[in-house]
Amino acid sequence: MSSPSETVAVRSALEIIRDVEPRVADAIASELVDQRASLKLIASENYASPAVLLAMGNWLSDKYAEGTVGHRFYAGCQNVDTVESVAAEHARALFGAEHAYVQPHSGIDANLVAFWAVLAQRVEAPALAEAGARNVDGLSDEDWSELRHALGNQRLLGMSLDAGGHLTHGARSNVSGKLFDLRSYGTDPETGLVDYDALRRTAHEFRPLIILGGYSAYPRKVNFRIMREIADEVGATLMVDMAHFAGLVAGGHFSGDFDPVAHADIVTTTTHKSLRGPRGGMVLCRSELAPYVDRGCPLVLGGPMPHVMAAKAVALAEARRPEFRDYARRVLENAEALASGLQRRGARLVTGGTENHLVLIDVGGYGITGRQAEKALLDAGIVTNRNSIPQDPNGPWYTSGIRVGTPALTTRGLTTADMDRIAELIDTVLTATEPGTDSRGGASRARYQLDPALATKVAEQADELLAPHPLYPAVFLP
Ligand code: PLP
């Protein structure tokens, strides 16, 4: 994963940081130690390459560059123009998109840019045209007030949180839920799969401005061709948030009906999950939406981060190589092996399996909550996160699910045989975990009991699985 010259760079970088603030240098070093030691099954995490990490840690960070390539509000942006246009060029080519905007700082920011681009295209632009104004400053106070009211009263149809949607898909606790009048679609209670007929009925009744596809915790492919048809029937803009599965689209494995870029008007993503880039976001869209998307900064984004755009460019270049297609295939094979290994040992999986990079275990089958399961697994060196499952009896805090994903361990080189061993370790820990009692002796949804000797034994077995696959092997910490 790295070369001797990178070793020198990291060692001296830590020494330079240590001279100024040793606690930060220590935290950076400790993070590598921790990441090397943990069996990382968090579905949204990965390990970026040394090239990506180095492209992010440099003086490009010092440059202000509000605006877009060639149209900046600051002088001296020629190098930022280069990195931003290279990143956008790779993104367009990789995903077959007409336009790419690589400035968003995160997935949440990318969704905000997309929401406002659609609002600007479909609500603001017609209002300006009707009033004969070139921009919002040219509107009368009365027209402006009417427009503000219209912008704040549009409808969004997104996947519900407990079916696997994300907070930014209309949850009241997120700005998306405060901005839009939301209706959610869920999954079939029997199969756990997206119910496209119910989605179509809701869309016809609700008539949303935006139908939003994509998810954080849904272990299946989504048919975006059907979603496109539904959006067309009701005159909605189809937006897809592919944050979780962008790497599977990039690798060519989510194609045809399952390729969001082929069907949606606008697609958002993070760059750090299965895409294996730096922490950040990105928006892809059809040409008609491009002028609105490009206004993301300063409409809802702070100044662009040129160093992160440089790292996005490097990651996207990596994702265009044949090795990435192979990586994405192995992510899928590993998830499939993990799911079948768990099922063979009696675990209950939401939707009965997986077609993507993640598996959602219903830990109610083990008589514990998601919170208890997450903590017990962590004791045994297995890093996961708890997650709601459809119609979750334990609510969004304690939950009844554990979400596990394979992008990170696949980057590290683990195989389908390793996944079967991991399924065994997970099942061993969950079977041995008992619910604890609260301070008044009642059943607790957080406390649990797990034999520490068993946890240590599993942690040792997890170490054995990781040992042949060193992380950033050329980096020797001082
Ligand atoms: N969209 C989806 C589907 C996600 O799963 C996430 C993060 O988990 C986000 C958006 C937000 O991404 P970020 O944390 O980069 O803002």
Q: Clarify whether 66 is annotated catalytic.
A: yes
Task: Based on the fold, state whether residues 303 and 334 are members of the same structural domain.
Answer: no
Q: Which atom of ligand 1 is nearest to the CA of 106?
A: 15
Q: Is 286 a catalytic residue?
A: no
Q: Which residue, of 255, 287, 319, is where some domain finishes?
A: 319
Number of Cβ within 10 Å of residue 5's Cβ equals: 9
Report yes or no on 51 lying in a domain. Answer: no
Spatial CA neighbour of 212 closest among 126, 110, 120: 110
What is the position in ligand 1's atom list of the atom closest to the CA of 242? 3
* Sign of the C-alpha dihedral computed for residues 467, 473, 477 and 478 taken in this order: positive
Q: What is the mean pLDDT of each run of 10 residues along the chain (478 residues)?
A: 56 88 96 94 98 96 96 96 98 98 98 98 98 97 98 97 94 96 96 96 98 98 98 98 98 98 98 98 98 97 97 98 98 98 98 98 97 98 96 94 98 98 98 93 93 98 97 84
Instruction: Flag whether 269 is in a domain.
Output: yes
What's the gap in Å between 275 CA and the centre of ligand 1? 13
Token pair in block for residue 59: 């003086």
Measure 225 CA to ligand 1 centroid, in angstroms.
Answer: 23
Please give the Cα distance from 41 to 233 (Å, whole number).
Answer: 40
Judgement on whether residues 278 and 341 belong to the same structural domain of the protein = no
Whether 263 and 396 share a structural domain = no
Catalytic-role residue among 6, 45, 66, 257: 66
122 and 217 inside one domain = yes
Q: Is 357 part of a structural domain of the chain? A: yes
Among candidate residues 297, 319, 341, the one where a domain is terminated: 319
Percent of the chain whose predicted confidence (pLDDT) is above 90: 94
Asked whether residue 460 is marked as a ligand-binding residue, the answer is no
Q: Do 119 and 192 reside in the same domain of the chain?
A: yes
What's the structural domain count of the chain?
2
Distance CA 14, CA 57 (A): 12
371 in active site? no
Q: Is residue 366 domain-shared with residue 387, that is, in the same domain?
A: yes
Sign of the C-alpha dihedral computed for residues 146, 151, 153 and 155 taken in this order: positive
d(CA 277, ligand 1 centre) in Å: 14
Ligand 1 atom with the smallest distance to the CA of 105 is 15
Which tokens hold the place of 275? Answer: 């895409």
Q: Whose CA is nearest to atom 7 of ligand 1?
A: 107
Structure confidence by residue, pLDDT tens digits, 255-286: 999 999 999 999 999 999 999 999 999 999 99
* CA distances for 202 relative to 199, 231, 235, 236, angstroms: 5, 11, 13, 12
Count CB neighbours of 59 within 10 A.
9
Q: For residue 360, what are its two tokens? A: 């959602």
- The whole-model pTM stands at 0.96
169 lines ligand 1 (CB under 6 A): no
Say if residue 390 is in the same domain as residue 259: no
Angstrom distance (rounded) from CA 330 to CA 181: 40
State if residue 357 touches ligand 1 by the CB under 6 angstroms criterion.
no
Give per-residue pLDDT as tens, 29-41: 999 999 999 999 9
What CATH number is given to the structural domain containing 456? 3.90.1150.10
Rounded alpha-carbon distances, angstroms, from residue 55 to 35, 51, 61, 317: 21, 6, 10, 12
Q: Is residue 226 part of a domain?
A: yes
CA of 468 to the centre of ligand 1 (A): 31
CATH number of the domain to which 144 belongs: 3.40.640.10
Whether the CB-CB separation of 48 and 470 falls below 8 Å is answered with no
Contacts of 411 (CB under 8 A, 6+ apart): 46, 47, 276, 327
Question: For the packed helices 370-379 and 452-466, what is the interaxial angle rounded to 10 degrees?
Answer: 70
100 and 193 in one domain? yes
The answer to the question of residue 345 being in a domain is yes
Place of tokens 């970088």: 13
Q: Tokens in use for 370? A: 């998601």
Sign of CA dihedral 183, 187, 193, 197: negative
Active site residue 427: no
Active-site pick, 241, 259, 265, 318: 241
**126 and 178 both lie in a single domain:** yes
Identify the active-site residue in 183, 273, 371, 403.
273
Query: Is the same domain home to 220 and 335?
Result: no
State the pLDDT at residue 317: 98
Are residues 174 and 311 both part of a single domain? yes
* Residues 398-437: tens digit of each pLDDT: 999 999 999 999 999 999 999 999 999 999 999 999 999 9
DSSP string, 1-54: ---HHHHHHHHHHHHHHHHH-HHHHHHHHHHHHHHHHSEE--TT-----HHHHH
Residue 102, classified by CB atoms within 10 Å of its CB into exposed (0-12), middle (13-18) or buried (19+), is buried
Residue whose CA is at the smallest distance from ligand 1 atom 5 = 216
Last residue of a domain, one of 274, 291, 319: 319
CA of 40 to the centre of ligand 1 (A): 18
Written as six digits, the tokens of 10 are: 């990291």
In a domain, 224, yes or no: yes
Same domain, 168 and 153: yes
Phi, psi of 211 (to 5 degrees): -105, 125
| 247 within some domain | yes
Q: Structural domain of residue 332, as residue ranges?
A: 322-466
